[in-house]
Amino acid sequence: MTVFRSLTRVLALLWAGAACAEPVALDPGDFDEFDAAQVQAGWLLFYDPVLSGNKNISCATCHHPKFATSDGLSLGLGEGGIGLGRARVADSNNLPEQRIPRNSPALFNLGHRAVTVMFHDGRIEVDPTRKSGLRTPLEDEMAEGFASLLSAQTMFPVLSADEMAGHYQENDVSQAVRQGRITGDGGAWDIIAKRVDAIAAYRALFAAFDAGVAGGDPVTFIDVSDAIAAFVATEWRAYDTAFDRALRGGAPLPEPAAQGQGLFFGAAGCSGCHSGALLSDQGFHAMATPQLGPGKAARFESHQRDDGRFRVTGAAADAFAFRTPMLRNVTRTGPWGHAGAHSDLADFVKFHADPVLATYAPQATLPDLSTAVADWAVLEDAGATAAIQMAYQPRPVALNDADISNILAFLDALTDDASIAGRLGVPDAVPSGLAVDR
C-alpha cells in the first residue's frame, strides 16, 4: 500500500511537472526610470492622509513597509480605523461599515513593464482596443492621459467609501462620490486635486518637473496619480534576491532552497502559473482559496461570495478565479490568499497545492469589528463552498512535509530586504501637516 501510494505520488508529481517553465531572473532594465522630483512628490502623497475624504487614512495605512507593503491583516479596516497593522482598531465614534473585502496586496514590482493587470480580479487592465488603452470599472467615464496602468489604479481607492472616501455626508469627497460626480469640475478627483494644489510645498515639488505647473497650471488628479505611480514603481522594485542573483551567475542557492526551486519549477508544478521573470502568468485561476468576510456583492445583491474574475468578464470559466500573484518577498506579506484566509504560509502552500475546502480550519488575522457581517458565512454554507470547490480546475499535487519546507526555503530566497525597507522609506512628515502612519 505504501509503495502504491508513493508510486501514485511520483506519477502525480511527474504529470504536474509536465507543463513547467524555466526560471528567469528579473532584469532591472525592465523598469522605467522617473524624475526624482516626481518620485518625491509621489512619496509624500502616498503617506499623506490629505487624499482621503476625512483626512484620516493614507495609502500607506494599508500598504506599509512595516508589513512589507501590505497591512499584516487578513482583511483590513479602512476609513474609520485607528492604528496600523495588527494594532489597528475600529474607531467607536466613526465605525467602519464593514471590513475591506479583500486582502491588501503587496506593491512590489508593479512598475515592471510586463505587468498588465491590477487587483485580485484584474478589473483594471491594459486593453489596446479601448480609447484610454485601459479597461476599468469606469469604462468610458475614465479620464484619459494616465502615464500607466499603475497610475490609473490610484483613481480608485480614493473613491471607495470604505477605503478612503468615508461615508455619505461626512465630507465633500464622499458626497461627490455618492452623487455620482467623479470626473470633471467639482467631481471627487477634482476636489482631492484642489486640496493638493492648495499646499505650497506640493506645488513647488510638481513645478520642479512639470512645466505646466511651473507656468501656473493647477495640479490635477492625473498629476497626483502619475506621481504616486512613479513612486510605487521606483520605491518597491524587488530584483536583488538570492534567487535572482543565482540566475545572474552569482552564488547558487543553498539547500534546502535549491531543492525547493527544483520542486517549484518541476514536480510541484508551481511554475505552470507562477511563470516568467515576475513568477506570475498575469492570468486567472480558480484555486479553491477559502473565502471569508463581506465578499463582493453588487449593491442590489446580499451574498458574501467573491466571484473573482467572473465579476469582470461574466464568463462561467472565470468563476472564483483570481490573479496569479507575483512572489518576490512573499514570505513577508502574509496573511496569504485573496481573502487572507491563511496566516501560516506552510499551511497555505499545502492547501494551495491540493485544496480541499472541507479540511480548512479558520486561521485568519482579523481586527474586532462589531458591525462586521458573520466572517465565515460562505464556508458555513455547504452550497456556496461546493461551488468554490467545483470551480477548481488544476491538477492537485500532494506535497509531503519535506517538500513543503523545501518550497518555503525557496520562497524565502525570493526576498529582497532593501526593497522591503524601500529606497526613501517612511517620511518624517508630509506637506499637509497631517499625522504619518509609522
State in angstroms the smallest separation of the CB of 285 from ligand HEC: 4
Single out the residue of 269, 293, 295, 431 in contact with ligand HEC (rule: CB under 6 A).
Answer: 269
**Which residue lies nearer to ligand HEC by CB, 43 or 209?**
43
Beta carbon of residue 130, minimum distance to ligand HEC (angstroms, whole number):
19
Binding residues for ligand HEC restricted to 222-241, rule: CB under 6 A = 228
* Part of the chain binding ligand HEC (CB under 6 A), chosen from 55-63, 180-188, 205-213, 416-424: 55-63
Q: Is 273 in the site for ligand HEC (CB under 6 A)?
A: yes
**76 scored as a contact of ligand HEC (CB under 6 A):** yes
Q: Cell 520542486 appears where?
A: 263
Among 38, 40, 56, 61, contact with ligand HEC (rule: CB under 6 A)? 61
Cβ atoms of residues 295 and 50 within 8 Å: no
Element (H, E) at 391: helix 382-391
List the alpha helices (DSSP H) in 18-162.
36-46, 59-62, 149-153
Is 220 a binder of ligand HEC (CB under 6 A)?
A: no
Give the nearest distance from C-beta 404 to ligand HEC in angstroms.
9
Among residues 175, 333, 343, 419, which is the contact residue for ligand HEC, using CB under 6 A? Answer: 333
Cβ contact 407:331 at 8 Å: no
Measured from the CB of residue 82, what is the shortest distance to ligand HEC in angstroms? 13
- One-letter amino acid at 164 equals M
Minimal distance, residue 272 CB to ligand HEC, in Å: 5
- Asked if 274 is part of the footprint of ligand HEC (rule: CB under 6 A), the reply reads yes
In the complex, minimum distance from the CB of residue 248 to ligand HEC, in angstroms, rounded to a whole number: 22
Q: Are strands 89-90 and 117-118 parallel, antiparallel or unpaired?
A: unpaired
| Long-range own/partner contacts, residues 201-210 (CB < 8 A, 24 or more apart) | 201/431, 202/41, 202/44, 202/45, 202/431, 205/37, 205/40, 205/41, 205/44, 205/431, 206/41, 208/37, 209/35, 209/37, 209/38, 209/41, 210/38
- CB nearer ligand HEC, residue 3 or residue 401: 401
Q: How many residues form the binding site for ligand HEC (CB under 6 A)?
A: 48
Beta bridge partners of 31: 112
Residue placing its CB nearer to ligand HEC in the complex, 137 or 184: 137
Does position 270 bind ligand HEC by CB under 6 A? yes
Site for ligand HEC in 129-188 (CB under 6 A): 150, 153-154, 157-158, 163-164
Determine the distance from the C-alpha atom of residue 14 to the mean position of all C-alpha atoms in its chain, rounded to a whole number: 32
215 vs 241, which CB is nearer to ligand HEC? 241
Which of 282, 334, 241 lies closest to 112 in space, CA to CA?
282
Question: In the stretch 247-266, what mask flags binding to ligand HEC with x, by CB under 6 A?
Answer: -----------------x--
Q: Determine which residue in the list 13, 39, 59, 152 makes contact with ligand HEC, applying CB under 6 A.
A: 59
Which residues fall within 8 angstroms of residue 276, CB to CB, at 6 or more apart?
Answer: 21, 24, 114
**Residue numbers 89-128 binding ligand HEC by CB under 6 A:** 100, 102, 104-105, 107, 110, 118-120
Cα–Cα distance measured from residue 160 to residue 96, given in angstroms and rounded to the nearest whole number? 12
Residues 54, 58, 59, 62, CA torsion sign: negative
Rounded to whole angstroms, the Cα distance separating 64 from 85 reads 8
- Are the beta carbons of 42 and 210 closer than 8 angstroms? no
Among the residue ranges 51-59, 85-93, 309-317, 420-428, the one whose residues contact ligand HEC (CB under 6 A) = 51-59
* Cβ atoms of residues 65 and 108 within 8 Å: no
Contacts of 426 (CB under 8 A, 6+ apart): 47, 60, 64, 65, 436, 437, 438
Whether residue 420 contacts residue 106, with contact meaning beta carbons closer than 8 Å, is answered with no
**349 part of the interface to ligand HEC, by CB under 6 A:** yes
Q: Is 57 in the site for ligand HEC (CB under 6 A)?
A: yes
Residue of the chain from 221, 243, 336, 351 that contacts ligand HEC (CB under 6 A): 336
Q: At what angle do helices 188-197 and 200-207 cross, to 10 degrees?
A: 90
Place of cell 489596446: 128
The footprint of ligand HEC (CB under 6 A) covers 51, 57, 59, 61-63, 76, 78, 100, 102, 104-105, 107, 110, 118-120, 150, 153-154, 157-158, 163-164, 228, 264, 268-270, 272-274, 285, 287, 289, 322, 324-325, 330, 333, 336-338, 349, 352-353, 394, 407
